Amino acid sequence: MTNPYDDLAADYDEDIYPLNEREFVEPTVEAIAQLTPGRTILELAVGTGRIAIPLAKRGFQVTGIDISPAMLQQLKQKAGEHLVETIAGDMSQIQLNREFDLAYLVFNGITYLLTLEEQVACFKNAASHLRSGGVFIVETFIPRVDQILKDDTAPYALEEEYVGFDKYDRMKQLLTSYQFDLSKEHPSSFQTTHRYVWPSELELMGQLAGFEKLTEWGSWEGEPLTQDSDNVIMIWRKR
């Protein structure tokens, strides 16, 4: 089956999360480097290597898993790609039969799994790949249900050259994100579907997987999580 992220791979870094923008990369890399208790790191949903490659350049042994061959192909075209071991597979099921010091799943990666069962399985799979005392980090957006206007639609970007909005299915806890780039002669658009997760759900998933929660942040700079936070970052340790 074709993975929906295959279609986004070629434009992912440039149009979605610019690789050269500090706000998307450096704070994340710095925090992960500080949190890991050792040198071996596993990234779930590694994508184009936006975070994995900078970590590898710092001397960490990084392995990245992704279900999208096209995303991994983009990673392999970058400088430093040879420093990252890449493996194609489902992050909720794949077994590498080895353990790491730290595993992370950032930038909404948990929401790519569209059922609660898959998300819980992903947590448990992460735990199975960590040494005792290993650290697991998850970052995802906090649902914008307070911004829903009508027809279960919540706009989050209304600019001259860019429009974005989410369409919520609150019964199934799914949303489809629509994005439109109007900056070029031929406008482009794409959409992705996510199962959004509340912070309380993340906490419970961590408990079910055998993790002890260390802390929670509202940003990679370590700001506290509040009701005004756009994102949640939770950090656990394997018991």
Q: Any alpha helices (H) in 129-176, and if so which ranges?
A: none
Tokens of 80: 């430093």
| Amino acid at the residue 65 | I
187: three-class secondary structure by DSSP: coil
**Which residues, including other chains, have CB under 8 Å from residue 133's CB and lie 6 or more apart?**
37, 237, 238
- pLDDT, averaged across the chain: 91
Q: Which helix (H) or strand (E) holds 124?
A: helix 116-128
C-alpha span between 28 and 43 (Å, rounded): 13
76-80, 87-91, 169-173, range with greatest mean pLDDT: 87-91
The pLDDT of residue 149 is above 80: yes
Q: Residue range 40-50: average pLDDT?
A: 95
pLDDT tens track for 52-64? 999 999 999 999 9
Tokens of 87: 């493996």
Q: Is the dihedral angle over the CA atoms 73, 76, 79, 81 positive or is it negative?
A: positive
> DSSP secondary-structure letter at 12?
I
37-41, 66-70, 119-123, 204-208: range with lowest mean pLDDT: 66-70
Q: Compute the chain's Rg from CA coordinates.
A: 17
For the sheet with 153-158, list strands across it: 153-158, 162-169, 174-181, 188-195
Superfamily of 4-142+196-238 according to CATH: Vaccinia Virus protein VP39 (3.40.50.150)
Q: pTM of the predicted model, to two decimals?
A: 0.92
The pLDDT of residue 9 is above 70: no
| Amino acid at the residue 61 | Q
The pLDDT of residue 15 is above 70: no
pLDDT reported for residue 181: 85
User: Which residues are 105's β-sheet partners?
Assistant: 138
The pLDDT of residue 30 is above 70: yes
